[in-house]
Amino acid sequence: MKAYRKLYEAEKFDTIREYISNGIKKYPNNNAFILKHKNGKEVSYTNITYTKFGEDIKAFGTALINHGLENKRIAIIGKNRYEWAIAFVSTLCGVGITVPLDKGLPEQEIILSLERAKADAIVFESEYENIILNVQKSNTHITEYICMDSNCDGKFKTVADIISEGTELLKTGDTKYDNHKIDPNAIASIIFTSGTTSMSKAVMLSNKNIASNIYNINLAEKIYDTDVNMAFLPLHHTFGSTALLLFLADGVTNVFCDGLRHIQENLREYKVSIFVCVPLLLEAMYKKIYAEVDKQGKTKLLKFANSISRFLLKFKIDIRRKVFKQILDNLGGNIRFVISGASAIDKNVARGFYDFGILAVQGYGLTETSPVLTAENAKCIKFGSVGLPLPEVEIKIDNPNEEGIGEIVAKGPNVMLGYYEMEEETAKVLKDGWFYTGDLGYIDKDGFLFITGRKKNVIVLKNGKNVYPEEIELLISTLPYVSENMVFGAPKDDDLVLSAKIVYNKDYVKEKYGDISESDLKDIIWKDIKKINSGLSNYKHIKNLIITDEPMVKTTTQKVKRFEEIKKL
């Protein structure tokens, strides 16, 4: 299936260096980053222009090459910040191979990941200092340790030290960084997939893989050089890092969130207009909006305004941002475009943001595909779908059943080189140029792709019926008190009983029901589950319920670690 409508013109390059250099050349005086500094109650900001950003990555890379790290592997670990971006972009654009590490990994998994990737250097935040000291004792391959912070007590060189060193080298005419030859088809990044390290796979992506994704997204989505992006997703995740590269290629200003509790404040503070996130964040924001509307007794008024607005849109009269100005102002007033990925989003949430005048599009992809395969855009939206394939991507459904559901298979220039030192695993998923995603879905008559779940998550009942837990989880997630949920098959005799584990929002429950007992709350939830059951086929009915206020075990992209949860239960 190749059905995407190319909406925009875009410049095409084969390497990240060309994209970043082009962005610096076109938008020299734009702010590439705004950095926030806190000193007690005092707050100050530093604006990093694209020119300054270009100077910093060149200086950093020049120094690394002079430390003998050309064509070597540079690991990076820490939260989203400017120094992370410097190390990542600089390495991709003229040093060697990046190895982004999940900042949430326990110590032994960090040590094992560094060994598996054969890292030659590591750039790290000071909070990992004790772990790094242990790495030094056991890892003989790493020759360079660079701290992102200035508070490493002189034990390590810092990113600032490396930039200063590189700046002096550049003054003497050092051109090694600019002269570094980049093979677009060689390994540019080694990225571990989500999960425990013993089970994770190290995905090899080339410059061309990532660059092709930037090109294809620019053909489908409109990004302005006046946009301000808040980097929500962890940059060690492919969706987060490719998005950052996309925005840097397009002259966008990038800022960092102070934490989930400060989202609304940060959206206003930086006048954020665009961001990439996981559905959980959007769904939480949407529930909060409606909880406030309900609290003010304006739910009927909001629904009436929605109906009028939708009617006028049929005649191309758009009053959304005026009618819903108060709601938009609570989100900072400037949000225009949100891209959601990593898992399916409730279609009512996507529709709800669209009703407010915010384009909230769903995308689909994997680490192995750099990552985006399909996406909606301003002209191609079908709520509940994950859009159409990007222009250079082909999608097909392998071995579909009678409902048209089968494994999603993809081909395109963004498909990985393979798994590092895992030939058998690579052979399982790369066949004749096609990547077998492990996800299940179907394609409708208009070419839109719909995800029904993960192949490994399908619950097969004794009667032969297949239940896709994600389908039911989406329905449960619409309940206002639900923070997260998981549907699974609990063994009983020689069959499985469809069960749901629900994590409820304590604050919502307390405000709505007061000091209710968990037993009484479970009775209320059961009534809502029965309503959901009534709209489903009998074999899909939830028959067992577990409720808790304790969050589930999740990856850093907020996906529930389903098998760990089931094992616990």
Would you state the pLDDT for residue 163?
98
Domains of the chain, by residue range, sit at: 20-206, 458-568
For residue 453, list its beta bridge partners: 440
The pair of three-digit structure tokens given for residue 102, joined into one six-digit string: 């999940």
503-to-452, 475, 487, 512 alpha-carbon distances in Å: 22, 14, 12, 16
Q: How far apart are the first and last CA of the chain?
A: 41
Taking the C-alpha atoms of residue 341 and residue 532, their distance in angstroms, rounded to an integer, is 25
Give me the CATH topology for the region 20-206. Answer: Rossmann fold (3.40.50)
Would you state the pLDDT for residue 198?
44
Would you state the pLDDT for residue 196?
37
Would you state the pLDDT for residue 494?
74
Taking the C-alpha atoms of residue 73 and residue 479, their distance in angstroms, rounded to an integer, is 46
Closest alpha carbon to 419 in 494, 366, 481: 366
Which DSSP symbol is given to 370?
S
In tens digits, the chain (569 residues) has pLDDT values of 555 567 889 999 999 999 999 999 999 999 999 999 998 889 999 999 999 999 999 999 999 999 999 999 999 999 999 999 999 999 999 999 999 999 988 899 899 999 999 999 999 999 999 999 999 999 989 999 999 998 887 789 999 999 999 999 999 999 999 999 999 999 999 999 864 334 689 999 999 999 999 999 999 999 999 999 999 899 999 999 999 999 999 999 999 999 888 998 999 999 999 999 988 888 888 888 888 888 888 888 888 999 999 999 999 999 999 999 989 998 999 999 999 986 677 788 888 999 999 999 999 999 999 999 999 998 889 988 999 999 999 999 999 998 899 999 999 999 999 999 999 999 999 999 999 999 999 999 999 999 988 888 888 887 778 888 888 998 999 899 999 999 999 888 778 899 999 999 999 999 999 999 999 999 999 999 999 999 988 889 999 999 999 999 887 667 788 878 887 87
* β strands within 285-405, DSSP E: 337-340, 359-365, 372-375, 388-389, 394-398
Q: Is the Cβ–Cβ distance between 386 and 363 less than 8 Å?
A: yes
Taking the C-alpha atoms of residue 172 and residue 489, their distance in angstroms, rounded to an integer, is 66
Q: What angle do CA 519, 525, 531 make, to 5 degrees?
A: 145
Would you state the pLDDT for residue 379?
87
Handedness of CA 202, 206, 212, 215 (dihedral sign): positive
Peptide bond into 371 cis (omega under 30): yes
CA 463 to chain CA centroid, Å, is 37
Helix (H) or strand (E) holding 473: helix 469-477
In this prediction the pTM is 0.86
Would you state the pLDDT for residue 342?
67
What b/e readout covers 360-380, taking b as 16+ CB neighbours within 10 angstroms?
bbbbbbbbbbbbbbbbbbeeb
Taking the C-alpha atoms of residue 239 and residue 277, their distance in angstroms, rounded to an integer, is 9
Strand-by-strand arrangement of the 274-277 sheet: 42-49, 31-39, 253-255, 228-231, 274-277, 337-340, 359-365, 372-375, 388-389
Q: Is the Cβ–Cβ distance between 146 and 157 less than 8 Å?
A: yes
Taking the C-alpha atoms of residue 266 and residue 228, their distance in angstroms, rounded to an integer, is 11
518-to-403, 453, 481, 511, 565 alpha-carbon distances in Å: 40, 31, 13, 15, 21
Would you state the pLDDT for residue 61?
98
Would you state the pLDDT for residue 550?
93
What b/e readout covers 45-69, taking b as 16+ CB neighbours within 10 angstroms?
eeebbbebbbbbbbbbbbbbbbbeb
For the domain with range 458-568, which CATH number is right: 3.30.300.30, 3.40.50.200, 3.30.460.20, 3.40.50.300? Answer: 3.30.300.30
